Structure 1
Amino acid sequence: MYRVWNYISTYSLLLIAGALLALVWANLDPHSYHALVHYVLIDDFLIGEAEPEGGSVRRVLTLHFLVNDVLMALFFAIAAKEVWEAVILEEGSLRGRKAVTPLIATAGGMVGPVAVYLMLAAALGVFDAVSRGWAIPTATDIAFSYLVGRMVFGAGHPAIRFLLLLAIADDAGGLIILAVFYPTAELAPAWLLLSIGASVAVFFLFNWLPRHLDRGNQLRPRSTWVRKRLSFWPYAIAGALSWYGFQEAGIHPALGLLPVIPAIPHADRAFGIFAEAEQYLTDLLNRMEHALKVPVEIVLFFFGLLNAGVEFSAISEPTWLVLLGLLIGKPVGIFLFGWLAVRVLRLGLPDGMGMRELFVVGCVAAIGFTVALFVATVAFPAGAVQDAAKMGALFSFGAAAISILAGRLMRIEKIAE
């Protein structure tokens, strides 16, 4: 039993509402919309280092920075939690031989869009202007891809699990790409020691050490005291330090909570993304995820509101590069690399799934939206190119119709749960 609608309603409906409101607002009254996006929350003048023209260094906290660089860290922390469970836990979905073919297909689903994007950019003569956006079409929106996948295959089809494995691996790859290829400033790797140190310290002091001291004592007094008295606070403080370390290191701070996720106590097994049973787990990591449900809903609404406001007149070459990278590069890359895994490496596909299903999975995975929209804001400075790329990410919802059509043409039989 999967709680897909709960997940969709939690992490996507308000996001879509914010995005639609932004599109309407930006096209009806762009001046007031951009005034909201760049609204200054804190305007702080510091006495100190002089600017070239004289005066003080000015530090400004805008609403856009607060949402994209600070609060979106909560969303990426939840994504990282799913990836962490899939990779490290005994029954994680990305462990062992069962994950090899989806991982290879995921690589194709990232290489294919990049190849299409860059080749089309070169063919159109805009390579230098748009090449930095190569990573935008590598994204897969896991929630909406899953929803469309159920519409195409049915809840009980083995392709659904394959799609989930692929989407989780895609999220992991996207996080790595953001960290490595899109620094926000000149890199200062020494600051990452703060992030790593905070994670190691909180794991040792509040996770490993209490359990070590409680060995042989069934009452576990120290672990119980830490859990009841300190709760999530040590990890929240470590997260704040890690966020600051990423910010100063020049890596996008929205990824700043990632090092702390493995340090938080977790149950020994994962039921899998969308698993209804997960809501009954009482370990600290799952309790923190449950507590973040409403805050992340609100954050995603404002993320959609502050980032999807693009005027339709902004549609240009980057729009089509992102869109075609997703609609063509994703299914072709996933199919070709999947074929390599199945036919050449003899790794096989799940029982009940063949090459037709693999191609349709690639079509479903072409829905970029959330992460694609985020990468567009990081890849390009605010302006016409960024707006055009965002429009391509929004238009990727067209992959849903293509997937349903492809499912019918390929005569995919739905399998009920």
Structure 2
Amino acid sequence: MYRVWNFVTNYSLLMIGGAILALIWANVDPHSYHSVVDWPILDRSPIGEPEYGADGSVLHRTLTFHYLVNDVLMALFFAIAAKEVWEAIALEAGSLRGRSAFVPVLAAVGGMAGPVVVYLLLATILGSSTYDALAHGWAVPTATDIAFSYIVARIIFGAGHPAVRFLLLLAIVDDALGLLIIAVFYPKGDVAPEWLLLSLGAALAAYILFNWLPRHLDRRDPLQPRATWMRLHLSFWPYFAAGALSWLAFQQAGLHPALGLLPIIPAMPHADRGFGIFAEAEAHLRDILNQFEHALKTPVEFILFLFGLLNAGVEFASIGAPTWLVLIGLLVGKPVGILLTGWLASRGLRLGLPRGMNLRDVLVVGCVAAIGFTVALFVAGVAFSPDARLHGYPIQDAAKLGALLSVAAGPIAWLVARSLGVRQRA
């Protein structure tokens, strides 16, 4: 991702702006807010929220504004996240390859396990009825908002501190595991895995026809005329068409369609080597995968504004047990999980920390990573039905409020850093 500071700043500020507007709107005039969120754009549409018959079959679908943003347009956001994960794994010198990635990878796993333990433990303490109602939302506090946490880390550590890179690696792994959790544990309906053959077929066809075949035909020609023609004239559009088929396959399969573009990302031609996560040098790369990301930059910024607007509109009166479970899971479970696994990996397994880092920095990174926001809001929306209630308040809204309040992790991380003597590095 190029010009990362401007991108991340716009990404976060636009989404935060949408979330603030949603909070004000939902608390001033909740009826009009929910009317806009649930506005039916097209009834009996080939895509949209399904209405099921008595036998479990889909009678028809309705394309609502909420579905358009959360299930269709957010696929572009998750495609960007998948691109960063794929490059970090697949490219030469990728940031998730080699020994240096072991500690942040293990810390990310601990940073996801910690909130789950805290969430389920608190739900158990609150009684069986509360546990039964809220246990399905165990994944809500596992998320780390990569852009928001990056900004906070830059403010606390400074651009030159190795803890910033450590956090980015951790957040990338967190995103990858989060995508897997959504796909496996939060399907949209009855799973019909045979539809995934369409997704796999679209990805393989795109890879063979537009990636492997041109390079195979050019294997004895150093000028690479066919591959160059593909890049200059077709760009990423054949892959985008394959992505549309993959998205449809995910919808029909009962998996969350916002993840529908993920199988296409590995099929796209990519750079020969990675420059590291968020490297500005990517601005000069002309491979199709980077062209795809660059083209999505502005649309995704606007999409995330809409996502904040349509998902963060919760009434303050909906605060309840899910709010505190999500919030405490993030603020306590994240830093504790990251610190414990960071200590185990660096000291117990003798993998060591990056030069210039110590366990105090790992604790502060854990506090920063407790900012859930984007993916936490998303998971809350798929984990709980909008109609679910506990003691009279809506569970989904209460859980989303916990995700929103996790922004408090920013100032908490700053206070922890100052009390531990962590200093900025330019």
Q: TM-score range by the shorter chain?
A: over 0.9
Q: Could you say which residue in structure 2 is the equivalent of 1:400?
A: 410
Which whole-Å deviations, capped at 9, do the CAs of 1:199-252 have from their partners, x for residues lacking one? 011101110011101111123222233223322221011101110111111110
Deviates more, 1:278-287 or 1:365-374: 278-287
Which whole-Å deviations, capped at 9, do the CAs of 1:19-64 have from their partners, x for residues lacking one? 1110000000000000000001002389xx9966xxx944211000
Task: Give the secondary-structure state (helix, strand or coil) at the position aligned to 1:413.
Answer: coil
1:2 Cα deviation from its structure 2 partner: 8.4
Q: Could you say which residue in structure 2 is the equivalent of 1:13?
A: 13
Task: Give the secondary-structure state (helix, strand or coil) at the position aligned to 1:346.
Answer: coil
CA separation in 2, counterparts of 1:45 and 1:69? 14
Whether the 8 Å contact between 1:91 and 1:270 is mirrored in structure 2 is yes
1:24 aligns with 2:24: yes
CA separation in 1, counterparts of 2:131 and 2:61? 34
Whether the 8 Å contact between 1:10 and 1:293 is mirrored in structure 2 is no
Amino acid at match of 2:401: M
CA separation in 1, counterparts of 2:379 and 2:231? 37
Match of residue 68, structure 1, among 61, 70, 76: 70
CA separation in 1, counterparts of 2:9 and 2:163? 23
Task: Give the secondary-structure state (helix, strand or coil) at the position aligned to 1:60.
Answer: strand
Whether the 8 Å contact between 1:45 and 1:57 is mirrored in structure 2 is no
Task: Give the secondary-structure state (helix, strand or coil) at the position aligned to 1:203.
Answer: helix
Where structure 1 has 5 or more consecutive residues not aligned to the other structure, the ranges are none
1:191 aligns with 2:195: yes
Whether the 8 Å contact between 1:154 and 1:414 is mirrored in structure 2 is yes
Amino acid at match of 2:21: L
CA separation in 1, counterparts of 2:159 and 2:53? 60
Q: Could you say which residue in structure 1 is the equivalent of 2:120?
A: 118
Task: Give the secondary-structure state (helix, strand or coil) at the position aligned to 1:266.
Answer: coil
Task: Give the secondary-structure state (helix, strand or coil) at the position aligned to 2:44.
Answer: strand
- Shift of the 82–344 alpha-carbon distance from structure 1 to 2, 3 Å rule, reads same
Whether the 8 Å contact between 1:7 and 1:274 is mirrored in structure 2 is no
1:309 aligns with 2:319: no
1:274 Cα deviation from its structure 2 partner: 2.3
Match of residue 177, structure 1, among 171, 175, 181: 181
Which whole-Å deviations, capped at 9, do the CAs of 1:258-297 have from their partners, x for residues lacking one? 0000111111112223211111111111111111111111
- Shift of the 276–51 alpha-carbon distance from structure 1 to 2, 3 Å rule, reads closer
Amino acid at match of 2:386: A
1:209 aligns with 2:207: no
Q: Could you say which residue in structure 2 is the equivalent of 1:39?
A: 39
1:2-401 counterparts in 2 under 5 A? 3-44=3-44, 57-125=59-127, 126-383=130-387, 384-401=394-411
Amino acid at match of 1:81: K
CA separation in 1, counterparts of 2:77 and 2:284? 21
CA separation in 1, counterparts of 2:21 and 2:200? 39
Amino acid at match of 1:334: I
CA separation in 2, counterparts of 1:114 and 1:393? 14
Amino acid at match of 1:232: F
Q: Percent identity?
A: 67
- Shift of the 337–50 alpha-carbon distance from structure 1 to 2, 3 Å rule, reads closer
- Shift of the 179–156 alpha-carbon distance from structure 1 to 2, 3 Å rule, reads same
CA separation in 2, counterparts of 1:341 and 1:220? 45
CA separation in 1, counterparts of 2:198 and 2:92? 30
Cα-Cα RMSD = 1.9
Amino acid at match of 1:397: V
- TM-score normalised according to structure 1 size: 0.96
- Shift of the 50–331 alpha-carbon distance from structure 1 to 2, 3 Å rule, reads closer
CA separation in 1, counterparts of 2:299 and 2:108? 30
Amino acid at match of 1:86: A
Amino acid at match of 2:95: S
- TM-score normalised according to structure 2 size: 0.94
- Shift of the 357–92 alpha-carbon distance from structure 1 to 2, 3 Å rule, reads same
Whether the 8 Å contact between 1:376 and 1:389 is mirrored in structure 2 is yes
CA separation in 1, counterparts of 2:374 and 2:110? 20
CA separation in 2, counterparts of 1:263 and 1:124? 47
CA separation in 2, counterparts of 1:74 and 1:8? 16
Q: Could you say which residue in structure 1 is the equivalent of 2:419?
A: 409
Whether the 8 Å contact between 2:140 and 2:376 is mirrored in structure 1 is yes
Whether the 8 Å contact between 1:74 and 1:296 is mirrored in structure 2 is yes
Amino acid at match of 2:193: P
Deviates more, 1:327-336 or 1:377-386: 377-386
Task: Give the secondary-structure state (helix, strand or coil) at the position aligned to 1:292.
Answer: helix
- Shift of the 214–332 alpha-carbon distance from structure 1 to 2, 3 Å rule, reads same
1:157 Cα deviation from its structure 2 partner: 1.0
1:330 Cα deviation from its structure 2 partner: 0.1
